[in-house]
Chains A and B, each alone.
Chain A
Amino acid sequence: MSMLFRWLIFGFAALLFNFPLLSTLLTSLKSEGEIVSNPSIIIQSPTLANYVKIFEMADRVDILPFLWNSLVISALGAFFALLLAFPAAYVIVRTGFGRNWLLPFVLNLRALPLIIFAIPLYMMFQAVGLLDTLLGLALIMCIINLPLTLALLSSTLRNIPEELDDAARIDGASTLSIILRIILPLSVAAIASSSVLGFVYAWNEFLFGLMLTTKSATPITVGASFFFSASGGGVKWGVASAVIMLSLLPPLIVGLLFYRSIGSSLTGGAVKG
């Protein structure tokens, strides 16, 4: 009986939290005519026409470059963060070097609103030609991902016994080869979850995508809104909904596939950050 109430509350919460997603999904499956005549949650004649139309209007607004930009920016952003954080995490955990300045500094970035740096970064990017480039945005995503990546990596490395390093050293391995041959293979799980989270964070970023791009590096979070005004005259709500659904799919799929590891890493990272 009490379980039944729990199911009810769960169902209610799940519907409430996911309501915008479900409602947009429904709208994207209605014809343009039905959207105007029938805003209810019941679809009279489901259709995929809106999804087809997205690609037919590619001459005015093309969704594919936006998706591609987001993909490149997110993948690079997660990769850069790993590249920078991994060796640092090793040194911090094994030698204590940087434990009192580098680690707390990076972890505290989580609490710093990055808009503080937005204006000077805009000027710097303009000066060096990084404005409206994928590389430029990937560097920003790297900043965003660093706190969680470093937190996850250092807590994982802490659990790798130091005896492994010592044994390899006796066999004459250099620090670099210890990192690459011993530590790296043992931290695959942490690398995977920080890549997943980094990818999701970067894909969903909006502020810097808006400020630092004009057209060639525009990510999908910014590009999606172009479809609201692109059709001339009234908004084509069906197409707009279909665009939103396509835009949210990649991080949603990745995130839900790895939801278990996201749960534990997010709480681990959050509790430490």
Chain B
Amino acid sequence: MQVSSKEKFWLTAPITFFLLVMLGFPLLLDLIYSVSEVTFENLLAPRLQGFENYFETLQDPTYWDALAFSLKFGLTASLVQLFLALFLAIYLEPLLARHPWLMAVLMAPMMVAPALIGLMYRLILHEFVGVIPYYLWEWVGDSPAFLGTENAFLTLVTIEILQWTPFALLILYTAYRSIPSHLREAARMDGANSLQLLMLVELPYMMPVILLTFFIRFIDSFRVFDNIYVLVGSGAGGTSTSLSIYIYKAFFRGGNIGQAVAASVLLFLAALLLIALLERFSRRMETT
């Protein structure tokens, strides 16, 4: 006797129902509202109007600025995290293998809310009481406006990198540790030096995990909201408006529901595209 089809249904029904209500229905609402003329007054009876909201969003320069910001932020943050973490994972491996608890020290920032990290930097970067401006004045005699228009990107991306490099480090360290020792021995046998071992054996072996780490970090940094919102509100002059902040602002500040929803649908389509790429990529990895 096996699990009956009735049981299959009832055991998966709760999660399916939950997903339909909490994600499926909202997505449907997104789609409907995005082609409707909608305000807070006629929420329950939106008037269909075609693709007006999409045109408006696509013609809005701040939308493109936000998209560009998110792309640049996601790419910069994930690439730097990846290289930093890869270096630390490989270089510190002998140390971390001998004292595993050291990993806990490096992991601590991952356990802290990005919003709280943002609040911390409000103090740390404060021009009068902040510790970083204090030492810069002390040592260099000058301190930049960290969250001013020209420096905001660099400051925010640095904060993101410092908080999430540990995540990439953890994954890459585990992958590095799981390289079968016979691969290394065989390469040594063939006379490979350390650099050749790294470039020709270890890194290729880790490549699927490296790419996956990059994807995960890119997606998470791309949708950044918390620390930016806490540090610079919803954007000083729009220079630090991520796509997430753009949607939030259009809805809550501008009351521009149609445009916010259209931007959400566009983001959904972009995410689908990325997921499809990821799926294809991971399937190819499985077959090779």
Is A90 engaged at the interface, CB distance under 8 Å to the other chain? yes
Is A241 engaged at the interface, CB distance under 8 Å to the other chain? yes
Binds A, one of B52-60, B145-153, B182-190, B219-227: B219-227
Whether B95 and A115, one on each chain, are in contact in the complex, defined by CB atoms closer than 8 angstroms, is no
Which listed residue, A211, A247, A273, touches B252 by the CB 8 Å rule?
A211
Considering the complex, which residues of chain B in the window 1-44 have a beta carbon less than 8 Å from any beta carbon of chain A?
A: 1-4, 7-8, 11-12, 14-16, 18-19, 22-23, 25-30, 33, 43
Which residue in chain A gives the minimum CB-CB distance to B165? A17
Is A228 engaged at the interface, CB distance under 8 Å to the other chain? yes
Whether A108 and B26, one on each chain, are in contact in the complex, defined by CB atoms closer than 8 angstroms, is no
Whether B128 and A36, one on each chain, are in contact in the complex, defined by CB atoms closer than 8 angstroms, is yes
Binds B, one of A49-57, A60-68, A256-264: A256-264
Q: How far is the CB of B245 from chain A (nearest CB, A)?
A: 9
User: Contacts of B100 on A, CB cut-off 8 Å?
Assistant: 260
Whether B115 and A221, one on each chain, are in contact in the complex, defined by CB atoms closer than 8 angstroms, is yes
Which residue in chain B gives the minimum CB-CB distance to A24? B120
User: Contacts of B120 on A, CB cut-off 8 Å?
Assistant: 20-21, 23-24, 241, 244
Considering the complex, which residues of chain A in the window 111-127 have a beta carbon less than 8 Å from any beta carbon of chain B?
A: 111-113, 115-124
User: Contacts of A106 on B, CB cut-off 8 Å?
Assistant: 15, 19
Q: Give Cα A14–Cα B219 distance, bound, in whole angstroms.
A: 25
Interface residues on B, range: 35 or more
Considering the complex, which residues of chain B in the window 134-172 have a beta carbon less than 8 Å from any beta carbon of chain A?
A: 134-135, 162-163, 165-167, 170-171
Is A224 engaged at the interface, CB distance under 8 Å to the other chain? yes
Considering the complex, which residues of chain A in the window 1-21 have a beta carbon less than 8 Å from any beta carbon of chain B?
A: 3, 6-7, 9-10, 13-14, 16-21
Considering the complex, which residues of chain A in the window 225-273 have a beta carbon less than 8 Å from any beta carbon of chain B?
A: 225, 228, 237, 240-241, 244, 247-248, 251-252, 254-256, 259-260, 262-264, 266-267, 270-271, 273
User: Contacts of B102 on A, CB cut-off 8 Å?
Assistant: 10, 14
Which listed residue, A21, A40, A83, A120, touches B134 by the CB 8 Å rule?
A40
Main secondary structure of the interface of B (DSSP, over half): helix
Whether A206 and B225, one on each chain, are in contact in the complex, defined by CB atoms closer than 8 angstroms, is yes
Q: How far is the CB of B208 from chain A (nearest CB, A)?
A: 8
Whether A124 and B26, one on each chain, are in contact in the complex, defined by CB atoms closer than 8 angstroms, is yes
Residue among B7, B106, B171, B219 with most chain A CB within 10 A: B7
Q: Give Cα A169–Cα B1 distance, bound, in whole angstroms.
A: 7
Which listed residue, A111, A116, A122, A247, touches B278 by the CB 8 Å rule?
A111
Considering the complex, which residues of chain A in the window 192-210 have a beta carbon less than 8 Å from any beta carbon of chain B?
A: 200, 203-207, 210
User: Contacts of A84 on B, CB cut-off 8 Å?
Assistant: 14-15, 18
Q: Give Cα A92–Cα B8 distance, bound, in whole angstroms.
A: 9
Is B204 engaged at the interface, CB distance under 8 Å to the other chain? no
Considering the complex, which residues of chain A in the window 43-88 have a beta carbon less than 8 Å from any beta carbon of chain B?
A: 83-85, 87-88
Q: Give Cα A106–Cα B14 distance, bound, in whole angstroms.
A: 13
Whether B116 and A120, one on each chain, are in contact in the complex, defined by CB atoms closer than 8 angstroms, is no
A-to-B contact residues, CB < 8 Å: 3, 6-7, 9-10, 13-14, 16-21, 23-24, 27, 35-36, 39-41, 83-85, 87-88, 90-92, 94-95, 97-98, 102, 104-106, 108-113, 115-124, 139-140, 142-143, 146, 169, 175, 200, 203-207, 210-211, 221-222, 224-225, 228, 237, 240-241, 244, 247-248, 251-252, 254-256, 259-260, 262-264, 266-267, 270-271, 273
Q: Give 9 nearest A-B pairs by CB, closest first.
A: A255-B111, A204-B113, A120-B29, A120-B26, A113-B223, A87-B11, A39-B134, A206-B115, A20-B120
What are 11 A-B residue pairs whose CB atoms fall within 8 Å in the complex?
A: A3-B94, A6-B92, A21-B120, A27-B131, A90-B11, A92-B12, A221-B116, A225-B115, A256-B104, A259-B104, A263-B103
